[in-house]
A and B are shown apart, each in its own frame.
Chain A
Amino acid sequence: MASEHVEAADDISALALKILVAGGFGVGKTTLVGSVSEIRPLRTEELLSEAGQLVDDTDGVDRKVTTTVAMDFGRITIRSGLALYLFGTPGQDRFWFIWDELSQGALGAVVLADTRRLEDCFPAVDYFEHRRIPFVVAVNCFPGARPYGAQDVSRALDLDQGTPVVLCDARDRDSGKEVLIRLVEYAGRMHTARLLDSVS
């Protein structure tokens, strides 16, 4: 039976955790993945078939049987048998259905924001808030952008109280690490709070 094979893999207790990196087009998602990943960011392609055609009204692609959406991802090995995978989500709104699959079982998400076009990250914030997926907002401090404080960004995005806002430089490895640490800490707190809620 195939199900026995599935269970057999649990015996070695290898665990992979998934973190999503979301945000508007060109905000630095792949840069962030690349700065913390131990491997050069890899690219996977997901085929869009019927599901894609429903939302994809771009002219000129109708002759193609399938089209693809690319996702960049990286990996951080914590120890043998425990790895963190980071997935840069496709920036375009029409690929929401890919997000649904990506967010299944995700530990949490990083929403990258650029203060010069903060509205680009609204859809991602909405998405994770509605699905109660723990996320932090990481403000990628582009050179030349007017500096804002975390408080300002939190207010501008109307974030739920407690959602962390971190200022970062997506190109910098230490800065990227800090963002991930804040996310994992926050995901742990959210999880504990929900456990307490469920027993009270």
Chain B
Amino acid sequence: MTEKPPGDLHDEGSQWYDGEAGPLVRPYAMTGGRTQPGPTGVPFDLIALVTLDPAAPGMDGDSALGPEHRTLIELCRTETQSVAELAADADLPVGVVRVLLGDLLELGCVTVSRPVPPAHLPDERILREVIEGLRAL
């Protein structure tokens, strides 16, 4: 081991990393270095709901989409997902998911709901529904 100079680490399939080493791809490499969503620039809330647009253009062979984009699309295919769920299920940091969702929104693949504005709590009817729903759990 120690006889080898550091430069030889890649020789003979020598594994200098393992499962404990963490990600070898910098997270924002998946977004081409972007840390903010594209021109639309809407910061998606953690509970913003992402729905696959049924009228979305065919995504097969679209070179604008990376594997992580496709993962998100697949996760949305079965049901509407929140941004937080997408991040957890795709095992990607929320910041990265936001950028990727910005791409998908611009391409017209998904729709994203707006969060409830702070001053506008849902009306009483909804709150009563929530309380009754919780009681019934």
Contacts and interface: CB of A to CB of B under 8 A. Distances in A.
Interface residues of A, number: 50
Given A42-B89, A49-B35, A14 B117 contact: no
A188 interface: yes
B109 to A, nearest CB: 9
Contacts, number: 144
B121 A187 contact: yes
Contact of A76 (B80, B114, B117, B137): B137
B10 interface: no
B126 A82 contact: yes
A187 B127 contact: yes
B135 A47 contact: no
A105 B111 contact: no
B54 to A, nearest CB: 11
Interface string B93-137: 111100000000110101111111110011010111111011101
Interface of B: 26-28, 35, 39-40, 42, 45-49, 51, 53, 80, 82, 84-85, 87-89, 93-96, 105-106, 108, 110-118, 121-122, 124, 126-131, 133-135, 137
Interface of A: 2-3, 5-6, 8-10, 12, 14-18, 36, 42-47, 49, 65-66, 68, 71, 73, 75-76, 78-79, 82-85, 87, 101-102, 104-105, 107, 173, 177, 180-181, 184-185, 187-188, 191-192
17 contacts: A2-B106, A5-B53, A14-B113, A15-B126, A17-B47, A17-B130, A44-B87, A44-B94, A45-B87, A73-B46, A73-B88, A104-B45, A177-B137, A181-B131, A184-B130, A184-B131, A188-B121
